[in-house]
Amino acid sequence: MATTKTHFVGQWDTFHNNGPFPTKILFETRLESKGNMPSLVDRYNDAAKEVQRLLQDSLNHNERFRAYGSAWSLSAIAHQKDRMHYNGLMNLKIPVTPNDLQAGSPYRADYLFFFECGNTIKEISEHVHRNGRAMKASGASNGQTIAGAISTGIHGSALDFGAVQDFVVGINIIIGPGPQDIVYLERDSKPALSAAFAQTIHSRVIRNDGLFQAALVSLGAFGFIHGVVIDTEDRYLLKRYTRRIKKEQALKLAETMDFANSDFKIATELDANGKGLRPYHYKVYINPYNPAEDYVTEIIYKKPYRQSYPDPIPTMKTAIYKDLPTWIAIFAAKHNRLIPKLIGAMKGIIFPALDTDIEGTIGEIFWDSTHRGPAFAVTMGVDHTQSRKALEVFLKLVNDEGPIPGAVALRFVKASQATLAFTRFPITCVLEMDGVLWKGNQNMISLEQFTRRIAEVFMAEGIRFTLHWGKNAAWNFPGLIDYMYGNKDDEWKEYRSALLSKPMADLFSNDFVQTIGLSDYRVNAPATLIASR
Amino acid sequence: MSTVSGTPQPNALNYTEGFYRGLDVHVIDTVAKLKLTDHEVMAMIRCPEGIHTVEYRVTLGDVLRSGFTLAKRRKVRIKYVCLKESND
């Protein structure tokens, strides 16, 4: 049987040291060993039973419960003051066979994979690669668990695909302790697995586009996401170039996404007419404190897979998350006027090395990153046509009210269908500032004040924006959720209320969900809303 | 040394700063006593699916100890992380 250790921890922290947060209990569930229970499905169901036992126990004790994986979010989204459940050890990988497919499904069984919640992006990437397939998108690195990644909407930078949740085609959620409380959700417009498969994992199927889209980016509040079905594609390589790019060229590309007619060209990435090809990924690095300086771009093109290519890992090892050293935070708090000089002096460390061309699989290009001390990250989504204005406003704020110890970047992602995906614009320009976590004082704006000013200034300028759920933001800013999502948050609440009983909706809420105004329960949400179609 | 492929065994309660944060780290910190006929030290580790990371440290004191004892007392400091069980 799956077993759970109970740790009376007192406090809990994120991977990036954004806490500590007070927490009573941390549960850690381990799967039954393969030797004792050889069937993957039996072990999966056994784990589900154990989670249901914990849910019942939490209900009995009138305590809230929240599952989390790698704790990579910098916001308090994963935190729960009562009971937290670490599911990083629940990493079963269940193959999908042609017999498991729903009749008329647009998917092919040999491209689908069923993963338990605690599989990390790296585990998934390697597993599908061993089976001749590749993930369609990834975050900038690979340590997030799949359940955490989709629940917070991690995005990567796939211009014409979308975010990580956009390759999920089925979600298995435990919504309570009862026998009918395990559901398997799919889109009715694009079904994947059959009811017979769902029965093997003791689940009832709900095929409903609206419910599925609401549950995709669930912020952990739709229940315990136990497993997901993902769609993959044939293996491919990504060719990554880093180049200096003129500021004007970079911003024009950001606004138009017109790579064919841009003056910026990579000589080896042109069509027969000499026009630029459309890349898979386009990212721009910006020194916020030197307006005259040109930018650095990381531009990636998709290529057919081949077995032999130079090892990209030595380069990627030094390229991902080139954080500022932590001593800068201490230095910055005392001598904040020197931050621009420091960022300028260290841009060779912060930005990727120029004119480096490498090739690798998606798992190799978006490779491992390690903990480098307390970090902050502010990540906004704006419509790409507004990226120039948004950047201008953001940089003015950073310079007028900062400086703060971080560097700025832009990435671009196709719209997600998930109801509360922050990548909700046709192409979202992801405007991000990453750096070392600092403490404000009389000389220097605090992170809380800075994130608050971002919301104020962007609203005053009339720029529509969203905020990454897993990053630092003024989540308690009045009217924030409505400004970002219009009536989409109401739609999300309706689906959630229709799916969960009131006690379970409360059990799966936390301070974060409450703060942003998403925890309220609609007693009259119609049951027909979540009917299988 | 770390392997390029594979995922390290996690430990949710490890809040160490740096590389080992969140990882299940095993430490061997001992002085191996060799018999007159022994020439090498073998540290046994238990990783069901293999090793993800190994760190081996030697200090000047360790070298001196080995020298003074004609290599019959050797300090062994090893940190390692196993590969996460793949469950496939």
Complex ipTM value: 0.92
Q: What is the enclosing helix (H) or strand (E) of A50?
A: helix A40-60
Please state whether A321 falls in left (phi above 0), alpha (psi between -120 and 50) or beta.
Answer: left
List A300's β-bridge partners, or say none: A240, A281
At A370, the amino acid letter reads T
Which of B3, B9, B15, B52 to mutate to probe the A interface, most A CBs <10 Å?
A: B15
> Which residues of chain B are within 8 Å of residue A120 when distances are taken between CB atoms?
7
| Minimum CA–CA partner of B84 in chain A | A89
Q: Where are the alpha helices (DSSP H) in A194-235?
A: 195-200, 209-216
pLDDT in the model for residue A142:
92
> Which residues of chain B are within 8 Å of residue A31 when distances are taken between CB atoms?
87
Cβ of A40 and B87 within 8 Å? yes
DSSP A224-249: EEEEEEEE-EE-EEEEEEEEEE-HHH
> Which residues of chain A are within 8 Å of residue B23 when distances are taken between CB atoms?
none
Cβ of B10 and A71 within 8 Å? no
Neighbours of A317 (CB within 10 A): 14
Residue that is written with structure tokens 């948004």 in the block: A390
Say if residue A403 is preceded by a cis peptide, omega within 30 of 0: yes
pLDDT tens by residue, A129-170: 999 999 999 988 899 999 999 999 998 778 999 999 999 999
A475's CB contacts (< 8 A; 6+ apart) are: A75, A76, A467, A512, A515, A516
> Which residues of chain A are within 8 Å of residue B5 when distances are taken between CB atoms?
126
Paired tokens of A50: 């154990």
pLDDT tens by residue, B24-58: 999 999 999 999 888 888 888 899 999 999 999 99
Task: Report CA A215 to chain centroid distance, whole Å.
Answer: 14
| Minimum CA–CA partner of B87 in chain A | A92
Shortest CA gap A55–chain B (Å):
20
Shortest CA gap A7–chain B (Å):
9
Integer Cα distance of A165 and A138 in angstroms: 10
Among the partner-chain residues A28, A123, A372, the one whose CB lies closest to the CB of B12 is A28
Paired tokens of A363: 């798992």
pLDDT in the model for residue A351:
83
Residues of chain A with pLDDT under 70: 318-334
Shortest CA gap B10–chain A (Å):
7
Shortest CA gap A372–chain B (Å):
5
At A372, the amino acid letter reads R
Paired tokens of A239: 């060719």
pLDDT in the model for residue A245:
96
Among the partner-chain residues A26, A91, A120, the one whose CB lies closest to the CB of B87 is A91
List the helix and strand counts (H, then E) for chain A. Answer: 17, 22
pTM of the model: 0.94
pLDDT in the model for residue A326:
59
pLDDT in the model for residue A44:
98
The residues of A whose Cβ lies within 8 A of any Cβ of B are: 7, 9, 13, 15, 17, 26, 28, 31, 34, 40, 43, 70-71, 86, 88-89, 91-93, 116, 120, 122-123, 126-127, 313, 370-373
Q: Please, are residues A121 and A139 in contact by the beta-carbon 8 Å criterion?
A: yes
Among the partner-chain residues B22, B85, B88, the one whose CB lies closest to the CB of A127 is B88
